């Protein structure tokens, strides 16, 4: 019997129409004899609203969370009422959702009184989105005759205690899934599990970071040994470029794990960057499919994506980044400055997106997100204080009107001249390239241009990728 893990994103459970598509998709798989694990996001917009209400509550605003609670109650109840005929199950589910929202208001009251929320409390607030959506969708599925039961991920997905960006404890998670989730599948239950959430060893609800329910889906697929992971979303698949930047963007039928990893890391919004991690070793194929166009096959992601005839498969970009440059004539041949700089950046909680060094060693630069840039600079200035005083390091500069552009394609490996072609295109379009980096995997080339050049650069490079799809 095939086992399939299906993750549905926020828009896929975001309206009565969307939820009825989910019911059809899951119902068909069950009717075809598949064992199905369902992993859900919160209804679209709910996570944002919850997070925002925490800020407002801490700032003394009661009205915001009280009205958010009312609105979320209506949203879920309305969906239940439109999709279910009156029944005990419908009443029971509405009552459960209402209780969760009462609890939400209570915690917000506490935040309101204290004037602040710890990351642990933020996680407990933000968890309500997924906890409501699984109850709602499981009830609608049950009415349609599917043996669906809602579950909180904390029963199976155990994490460290790093709230808001928790990491799974793999062994504990594997054991819990094998001991508690697999028997449910054997009984013919279709578990409907909260994405995004886990539980730490001391029993607190944790979250895996924004967009983390893709990652949840992959974790459940891995340890239930699923034959396939399907990420159901609101686009037809992984695209050659962002369709908002270039209308010619097309869906890629095949992509490798590695390619999709680079695409996600460098700005393609379709998948959380960690999604491939749990399924990679096990070689579980993943598909990205559209809940609103379910007959379309989507993008298949597996070990070896079909290499394309031309080498550039897709182009992505990351905005809201800052380039930090550390420069100084006294840095030549002094070991450890780069190492200390990156440790200082890590100390500011910054994720380094790209690194590049000029061969003269008089400067090196790296990219972090805009929001962390100032703090990173301050931390580095602290760390390199002695070098700065001695003038070995002249300055640390921030430039923030820039973007990272990445071209991805496994076919680049070992083919000489790809970089030349990519930068030739930039040259021909008179686009100034500020910094360059190529990953050692050779499956992507990233570089930095001014934000004003973004659209032209993407369109020009996309020409290279489109030739590939046409083949």
The DSSP secondary-structure symbol of 393 reads: S
Give the footprint of Mg ion on residues 29-58 (CB under 5 A). Answer: 41
Q: Which is nearer to Mg ion, 206 or 341 (CB)?
A: 206
Residue whose entry in the numeric block shows the structure tokens 């690194």: 355
Q: How far is the CB of 138 from ligand ASP (least distance, A)?
A: 17
- Strand boundaries in 64-117, DSSP class E: none
Taking CB under 6 A as the criterion, the residue among 14, 129, 261, 411 binding ligand ASP is 129
- Count residues near Mg ion (CB under 5 A): 3
Q: How far is the CB of 217 from ligand ASP (least distance, A)?
A: 9
Residue 464: what are its φ and ψ, rounded to 5°? -65, -40
The two tokens of residue 168 are 């799974």
CB 263 within 8 A of CB 255: yes
The residues, any chain, with a CB within 8 Å of residue 256's CB and separated by 6 or more, are 301, 302, 303, 304, 305, 410, 443
The DSSP secondary-structure symbol of 168 reads: B
CB 241 within 8 A of CB 465: yes
Stretch touching Mg ion by CB under 5 A, among 3-11, 29-37, 220-228, 278-286? 3-11
Taking CB under 6 A as the criterion, the residue among 11, 12, 21, 41 binding ligand ASP is 41
* Residues paired with 447 in a beta bridge: 405, 436
Angle between helices 46-58 and 88-114 (to 10 degrees): 30
Specify the 3-state DSSP secondary structure of 257: helix
233 binds ligand ASP (CB under 6 A): no
261 binds Mg ion (CB under 5 A): no
Of 67, 43, 47, 40, which Cα lies nearest the Cα of 122?
47
Stretch touching ligand ASP by CB under 6 A, among 72-80, 139-147, 206-214, 330-338? 206-214
Using CA atoms, how far apart are residues 139 and 280, in angstroms rounded to an integer? 33
14 binds Mg ion (CB under 5 A): no
Stretch touching ligand ASP by CB under 6 A, among 11-19, 157-165, 210-218, 385-393? 210-218
Work out what residue 233 binds among ligand ASP, Mg ion, none; the CB cut-off runs from 5 to 8 Å by kind: none
The secondary element (H helix, E strand) that includes residue 449 is strand 444-450
Q: Which is nearer to ligand ASP, 139 or 208 (CB)?
A: 208
194 binds ligand ASP (CB under 6 A): no
42 binds ligand ASP (CB under 6 A): yes
Q: How far is the CB of 10 from ligand ASP (least distance, A)?
A: 5
195 binds ligand ASP (CB under 6 A): yes
212 binds Mg ion (CB under 5 A): no
Of 120, 130, 125, 214, which Cα lies nearest the Cα of 165?
120
Taking CB under 6 A as the criterion, the residue among 47, 194, 240, 356 binding ligand ASP is 47
Within 13 Å, how many C-alpha atoms sit on residue 237's CB side? 20
10 binds ligand ASP (CB under 6 A): yes
Using CA atoms, how far apart are residues 446 and 464, in angstroms rounded to an integer? 15
Taking CB under 5 A as the criterion, the residue among 5, 10, 69, 250 binding Mg ion is 10
Q: Which is nearer to ligand ASP, 211 or 261 (CB)?
A: 211
Q: Which is nearer to ligand ASP, 151 or 196 (CB)?
A: 196
Give the footprint of Mg ion on residues 158-187 (CB under 5 A). Answer: none
Binding site for ligand ASP (CB under 6 A): 9-10, 41-42, 47, 129, 195-196, 210-213
């Amino acid at each position: 019997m095939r086992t399939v893990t299906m993750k549905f994103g926020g828009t896929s459970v975001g309206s009565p129409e969307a939820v009825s598509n989910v019911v059809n998709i899951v119902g068909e798989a069950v009717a075809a004899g598949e064992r199905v694990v369902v992993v859900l996001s919160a209804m679209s917009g709910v996570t944002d609203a919850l997070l925002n209400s925490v800020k407002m509550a801490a700032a003394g605003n009661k009205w915001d969370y009280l009205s958010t609670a009312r609105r979320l109650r209506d949203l879920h109840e309305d969906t239940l009422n439109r999709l279910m005929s009156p029944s005990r199950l419908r009443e029971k589910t509405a009552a459960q959702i209402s209780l969760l929202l009462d609890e939400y208001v209570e915690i917000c009251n506490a935040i309101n009184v204290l004037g602040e929320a710890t990351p642990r409390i933020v996680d407990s607030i933000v968890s309500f989105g997924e906890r409501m959506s699984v109850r709602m969708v499981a009830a609608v599925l049950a009415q349609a005759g599917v043996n669906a039961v809602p579950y909180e991920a904390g029963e199976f997905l155990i994490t460290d205690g790093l709230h808001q960006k928790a990491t799974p404890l793999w062994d504990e998670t594997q054991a819990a899934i094998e001991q508690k989730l697999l028997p449910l599948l054997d009984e013919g239950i279709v578990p409907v599990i909260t994405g995004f959430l886990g539980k730490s060893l001391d029993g607190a609800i944790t979250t895996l970071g924004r967009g983390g329910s893709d990652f949840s889906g992959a974790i459940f697929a891995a340890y239930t040994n699923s034959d396939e992971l399907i990420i159901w979303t609101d686009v037809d698949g992984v695209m050659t470029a962002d369709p908002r930047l270039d209308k010619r963007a097309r869906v890629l039928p095949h992509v490798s794990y590695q390619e999709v990893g680079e695409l996600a890391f460098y700005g393609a919004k379709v998948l959380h960057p960690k999604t491939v991690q749990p399924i990679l070793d096990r070689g579980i194929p993943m598909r990205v499919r559209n809940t609103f166009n379910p007959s379309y096959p989507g993008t298949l992601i597996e070990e070896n994506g079909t290499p394309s005839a031309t080498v550039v498969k897709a182009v992505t970009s990351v905005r809201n980044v800052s380039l930090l440059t550390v420069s100084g004539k006294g840095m030549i041949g002094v070991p450890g400055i780069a190492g200390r700089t990156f440790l200082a950046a890590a100390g500011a909680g910054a994720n380094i997106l790209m690194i590049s060094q000029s061969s003269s060693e008089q400067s090196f630069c790296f990219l972090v997100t805009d929001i962390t840039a100032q703090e990173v600079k301050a931390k580095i200035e602290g760390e390199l204080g002695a070098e700065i005083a001695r003038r070995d390091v002249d300055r640390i500069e921030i430039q923030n009107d820039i973007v990272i552009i990445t071209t991805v394609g496994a076919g680049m490996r070992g083919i000489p001249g790809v970089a030349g072609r990519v930068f030739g295109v930039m040259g021909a379009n008179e686009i100034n390239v500020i910094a360059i980096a190529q990953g050692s995997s050779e499956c992507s080339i990233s570089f930095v241009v001014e934000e004003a050049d973004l659209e032209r650069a993407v369109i020009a490079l996309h020409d290279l990728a489109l030739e590939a799809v046409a083949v």
